[in-house]
Amino acid sequence: QVQLVESGGGLVQPGGSLRLSCAASENLYYMGWYRQAPGKQREFLARITWGATTNYGDSMKGRFTISRDNAKNTIYLQMNSLKPEDTAVYYCHAEFIAGGEYWGKGIQVTVSS
């Protein structure tokens, strides 16, 4: 089975930055990030293909950037100008080009002063 392991979360002050990482056990064509705040639905943030084509959700608002390192089977989410409403569990997501859907266990990001 595919394993996705997130890292880089934690506590940050408003206006600060974090970079999340997601290391996959093997190469997947589509990889991306979602988040889920308490009491809210899971929200799409960004997706990137093996060839580095990207899509962003509206919640990114130009503050987040997704990237990947195919040699490491790893994607990143650079988060800048963080706000308290960005507080959520952030989930890595991936799919093979032929199908199959996989999720990481999630990592907490808390934006608070």
pLDDT in tens, 41-61: 999 999 999 999 999 998 776
d(CA 33, CA 43): 9
pLDDT in tens, 67-91: 999 999 999 999 999 999 999 999 9
Tokens (6 digits) for 55: 């899509």
Place of tokens 């408003």: 14
> What is the pLDDT at residue 48?
97
d(CA 72, CA 109): 23
Beta pairing class for 54-56 and 88-96: unpaired
Segment 84-105 mean pLDDT? 96
Nearest partner of 86 among 109, 107, 68, 69, judged by Cα: 109
pLDDT in tens, 2-46: 999 999 999 999 999 999 999 999 999 999 999 999 999 999 999
